[in-house]
Structure 1
Amino acid sequence: MGRKRKGRAISGWLVVDKPAGITSTSVVNKVRWAFGAQKAGHAGTLDPAATGVLAVALGEATKTVPYITDALKCYRFMVRLGQATNTDDAEGTVIATSDARPDDAAIEAALAPLRGDILQVPPQFSAVKVEGERAYDIARAGEEMDLAARPLFVESLVLVGRPDPDHAELEMVCGKGGYVRSIARDLGTALGCHGHVLWLRRTWSGPFTAEEGISVEEIERLAQQPELDAHLRPLEMGLADLPQLVATPEGAARLRNGNPGMVLTGAEYGEEAWASENGRAVAVGTYKAGELHPSRVFVA
């Protein structure tokens, strides 16, 4: 028999407005401690210097993390033109400079190839694994790597502000695995003037927004208190992009045991969906001929 997990069997999503200067893992650990939760995880890492939405899943909600990780996300960020850094952000060392300063029209033109389905090379200082090692560990040792380009879907990328010739504020909506630092680097390269990210904020991620986020200070203030539970969002929010099917009572019972269960509403044959009973998630799986075949089952 497996060892019983310590802590509360509490489930749901907590939307944190992450401050700069703290890692995503540190935020998750703080949330888990504050709730006294058995299990916690997050949907999409933010760099320590970045701020904004960090969606933290507790308990059974961790089973829905992949769906938030795969969802579209929105980033607002400032590009410092005229300088390249070894980390592609303001935390790094300046490695190249240029006196060239493109106008708005040139920036707009250079953004066009960075939209749609693109291939993006991760920053040298990233968590990408190279022969079993993290790229940032290799980069810190002073070695340069040829990192393979990765596919990324960029739904939109627009210039939203130009405070002065040295800076351009952008907003990007993209899919899973996007590096904003790479966008800044590649934009600077395309413009012939270099560029890096000065600051970065994730304004929304899937169904979660920064406006609804709780601060780390508030989490610490309410830690171990019932008032903190009021900030939890239902785990079902993590399934917002999947069709919801209503299970019959018998179907719900079968699904909870890991068996295909009958549902009253349908989806496309072979489509991934989730089944509910009284509005609560029972299982995620594949819809086939009136039944949901479960791949993940939620414990009540």
Structure 2
Amino acid sequence: MSKPRKPKGRPISGWLILDKPLDFGSTEAVSKIKWLFKAQKAGHAGTLDPLASGMLPIALGDATKTVPYVMDGRKIYEFTVAWGEERSTDDLEGQVTHASDARPTEEAIRALLPNYTGVISQVPPQFSAIKIDGERAYDLAREGETVDIPAREVEVFRLTLLGATPNLAQFEIECGKGTYVRSLARDMGRDLGCFGHIASLRRTFVAPFGEDDMVPLADLVALEKIENEEERLAALDAFVIETGEALSSLPHIAVSDDQAHRLKMGNPIILRGRDAPLATPEAYATTRGKLIAIGEIAEGEFRPKRVFSVG
């Protein structure tokens, strides 16, 4: 009987909050980070198109188990809409499909914003990762098919006009999971009677991570000049954020080493004392500041659902 393969790379775990440059795909970025850090595994929490820059949270090792919690978080984007053209991709990359000489006034744009705040119905772009009958919409679109993508509800918490010229308007949006800013530009252009597409897009926030957490790719690549591998990896690791930071929206309990051992074995622990947390379907436990488990609190116990290695 053959032995199981030992995973390649280091068992490093945590979050690297990359400031993704333009013309660099999300999958390409993850591969680059995985290679730089010599990590066993890596994944990202929310795709950014090559024509978009900014925050791309990348999970290393055990942190990949917490990706769904970051995917569900609020996001903030700064974006520019160019008026006068609608494009097949709803951004600069696509071909012009509709054009107009009309241009909106700043007053007209401001009057429209309440229509795009709150829970709104939105049709994702033709060039998107939405699956249609098992295939990605962008694959079908590249083959020349017009895809019927059903509308879906998304939530916009805030949409602010930052500035406007006759041909361009700059916005900031705070929105929930699944919101397509490209669709927003397309729909606003139609409502204003002038058409529109995204001219620039930058993500500045993915809850719970902020701009101060972002690390430019160039800063990480620059560390390749350190010849000593141990020193180079130590310098890279200094940018990694603890896995548990991704769970800051959940109730938290600190446990002893003995309790941590029980949790790692998949066993529940009893929560005693008047300060014991109330029942909740999801919470996380740490020991010595390190994430040990995600689970539920019920009937005076913390019951682990997912456990993490420590150290």
Pairwise TM-score range, normalised by the shorter structure: over 0.9
Q: Is the 8 A contact 1:156 1:172 kept in 2?
A: yes
State the partner residue of 2:58.
56
How far apart in 2 are the matches of 1:229 and 1:250? 28
Q: In the alignment, does 2:36 pair up with 1:26?
A: no
Change (3 A) 1:146 1:20: same
1:53-103 CA distance string (max 9 Å, x none): 011111111111111111101000000111100100011111111122121
Fraction of identical pairs, as percent: 48
Q: In the alignment, does 2:297 pair up with 1:287?
A: yes
1:166-196 CA distance string (max 9 Å, x none): 1110111111111110010111111111110
Partner AA of 2:204 in structure 1: T
Q: Is the 8 A contact 2:279 2:300 kept in 1?
A: no
Q: In the alignment, does 2:250 pair up with 1:242?
A: yes
Q: Is the 8 A contact 1:248 1:263 kept in 2?
A: no
Q: 1:153 aligns with which of 132, 152, 155?
A: 155
Displacement after TM superposition at 1:113 (Å): 1.7
Partner SS, residue 33 of structure 2: helix
TM-score normalised per structure 2? 0.92
Structure 2 spans left out of the alignment, 5+ residues = none
Report runs of 4+ in structure 1 exceeding 6 Å deviation: none
Q: Is the 8 A contact 1:87 1:93 kept in 2?
A: yes
Displacement after TM superposition at 1:211 (Å): 4.0
Range 96-105 or range 183-192, more displaced: 96-105
State the partner residue of 2:112.
110
State the partner residue of 2:203.
202
Q: Is the 8 A contact 2:294 2:304 kept in 1?
A: yes
Partner AA of 2:93 in structure 1: E
Partner SS, residue 215 of structure 2: coil
How far apart in 1 are the matches of 2:287 and 2:218? 36
State the partner residue of 1:84.
86
Q: Is the 8 A contact 2:39 2:60 kept in 1?
A: yes
TM-score normalised per structure 1? 0.95
State the partner residue of 1:75.
77
Within-5 A mapping of 1:30-41: 30-41=32-43
Partner SS, residue 98 of structure 2: strand
How far apart in 1 are the matches of 2:260 and 2:13? 19
How far apart in 2 are the matches of 1:263 and 1:276? 14
1:224-274 CA distance string (max 9 Å, x none): 512111111111111111111122444322211112223455434233110
State the partner residue of 2:125.
123
State the partner residue of 2:180.
179
How far apart in 2 are the matches of 1:165 and 1:154? 25
Q: In the alignment, does 2:257 pair up with 1:253?
A: no
State the partner residue of 1:135.
137
State the partner residue of 1:12.
14
